[in-house]
Amino acid sequence: MHKFGVWAPKAQKMSVRVGDQTLPMQGQNRRGWWTLEVDCNCGDRYAYLIDDDTTPYPDPRALRQPDGVHGMSELYDHSRFEWHDQLWRGSPKSGAIIYEMHIGTFSEEGTFAGAIKHLDYLADLGVTHLELLPVNQFAGDRGWGYDGVSLFAVQESYGGPDGLKRFVDAAHAKGLSVIMDVVYNHFGPVGNYTTKFAPYLTDRHRTPWGDAVNLDGAGSDEVRRFFCDNALMWLKDYHIDGLRLDAVHAFIDHSAEHFLEQVSEEVERLGATLGREFYLIAESDLNDPKIIRPKEAHGYGMDSQWSDDFHHSLFTLLYQNPKEAGYYSDFGSMADLHKALKHAFVYDGGYSGYRQRRHGRPVEALSAHHFVHFDQNHDQVGNRAFGERIEHLIGMDAAKVAIGIVLMAPYIPMLFMGEEWATSAPFLYFADHEDEDMRRAVAEGRKNEFADFGYGGDVPNPEDMSTFNDSKLRWQEIGEGKHAEMLAWTKSLIALRRSSVCLNDGNMHRLRVSSDDVNLWLMMQRDEFRIMVNMGNAPWNLQLLDGEDLALSSREGLAVDNGWIVLPPMSLIVLQSSTEEVEDREVAARPA
């Protein structure tokens, strides 16, 4: 027997279709739930009929959609999968090195099984956490995943629920944690039938995607329960180690307990029950430390948040294009990068010209491990007209400097798949909307979006299969020329970080930063390590301090001569001292 249950307070009557049977459900309870027990089995197909509508709709909480988001749902039993990770407790989040990846383009197969083949490579690279772009069911066979509509089901083209479980099980066997990107701020435009059943959305609030998710209006208890249950499902039933919550600034919630607080509290309870520690990461552009403060300090209890200010301040130093101003117009000086490294937020209450208002709040007494740093991610690459990665735009020397700063800073570093070997593959925006009108609208919208930047009609069509295929990583190049050079550099940085206690220290008070906005110099002092960066156009002579040796260099062939080293333009070196007296050191440098 299986007990069907669906929240449908809008309905006057409900029926469930199981196989060739259509059965009336019992009247809704006080909160709007309809139920019925039916003799059926795992694998049976079912759907719901609302009032006199003869169209069968998939279950909003369906665990599997084998025929896509418009088809009937399938009964799925989580308990039938055989796990092999009973002793797994997860990698420490304070020492995390995150690797963001998109299942559809990470391997040639574009599946969980294809990704499993590369897990040995990822373990050898030295990363600790794999962050998957959303894998819940979305319309079509290809997409970024942020247009998901069946949030409890796993994308069938990737391998479905068992495919995801096999991937997680295999990752744990290699010592790799898995973080799931989840989208709770909107539903995709194609295949969302939740509003047929209940007020999942509200027109009381608006977001960039239209009506907001109903987090504080009538019926919001059940909407919040829907998303919280989804979060707990990934952690409990799929053994996922953490969640990255997309664009939490788009949550509009005037409740006494904010939705993020509820999520963090329920995840904490689950972790205590299972004996595991989960990692919650928020994407937020609010620059508000409340997001990552503990609930005991009147915060929302997220463990970390993405740090856009760091990315923008670094990127604008390395690449200037006046046609791409936008939010980049607020950045561009070495002083911005200096502040992002020392204080996390560049805008912590100061005036933002882009926003035309004051923005942010200072970070106080929080570890650097509450912030995730990156020099590129799926948004910053894929939202460009041609999906160029950072090495495509600024060249190898500057790309080495960028990833060096990311991995040597005290914050949690995140790499975007393929950047570790400077892949030649772009990461484009692609989609497979099954509705023809939507396909045309997306293609035209993308073209118009970049017309003002002089790209005309050359922007790749997101709906073309070639756009998706062009975005797949090119593994065959990994051992060739500059790609092998970048991979060796990245692995050396990761190895140094993971083997050095001070490089995993999140205490921002023990980080010393010096910079020169004219000559584009930057220094980070991290106990026995001194990271020196020359982003200028001229070489500099740098004097090594007593007991200091060259540990790493982004340029080959650098040598120490009588205690001095010439640091070429656009280069980064890491110096390591054998002495403990580091607090009183002074930088000695002069033009070469």
Per residue, what are the HEC states of 72-119?
Answer: CEECCCHHHCCCCCCCCCCCCHHHCCEEEECHHHHCCCCCHHHHHCCH
Q: How far apart are CA 149 and CA 353, in angstroms?
A: 36
Main-chain dihedrals φ then ψ at residue 15, nearest 5 degrees: -135, 155
Which residue from 68, 5, 64, 19 is spatially nearest to 197, judged by alpha carbons?
Answer: 5
Question: Catalytic one among 74, 131, 169, 246?
Answer: 246
C-alpha count within 13 angstroms, C-beta hemisphere, residue 391: 21
As a whole number of angstroms, the distance between CA 394 and CA 486 comes to: 14
Q: Within its chain, how far is the Cα of 248 from the centroid? A: 12
Query: For residues 261-287, b (16+ Cβ closer than 10 Å) or e, as one string?
Result: bbbbebbeeeeeeeeebbbbbbbbbeb
Closest by CA position to 489, among listed 555, 567, 416, 391 = 555
Burial class (CB in 10 A: 0-12, 13-18, 19+), 207: middle
Please state, as a whole number, how many other Cβ atoms lie within 10 Å of the Cβ of residue 470. Answer: 18
Q: Is 516 a catalytic residue?
A: no
Q: How far apart are CA 534 and CA 313, in angstroms?
A: 16
SS (H, E, C) 198-262: CCCEEEEEEECCEEEECCCCCCHHHHHHHHHHHHHHHHHHCCCCEEEECCHHHCCCCCCCCHHHH
Task: Look at residues 321, 490, 474 and name the one whose alpha carbon lies nearest to residue 408.
Answer: 490
Cβ contact 316:330 at 8 Å: no
How far apart CA 9 and CA 526 sit, in angstroms, is 58
Structure token pair of residue 341: 């490294």
Residue with tokens 């196989």: 19
- Active-site pick, 181, 216, 283, 288: 283
Q: Which two tokens stand for residue 470?
A: 């062009």
Cα 258 to Cα 300: distance, rounded to the nearest angstrom: 7
Write down the residue that tokens 């701020």 correspond to: 185
Contacts of 245 (CB under 8 A, 6+ apart): 182, 184, 260, 263, 280, 281, 282, 283, 302
Return the structure tokens found at 350. 């100061």
Sign, CA dihedral 89-378-184-368, equals: positive
What's 561's DSSP letter?
B
Active site (annotated) includes residue 283: yes
Cα separation, 73 vs 60, in Å, equals: 9
Distance CA(563)–CA(559), nearest Å, equals: 10
Q: Which residues pair with 38 in a beta bridge?
A: 2
> Could you list the active site residues?
246, 283
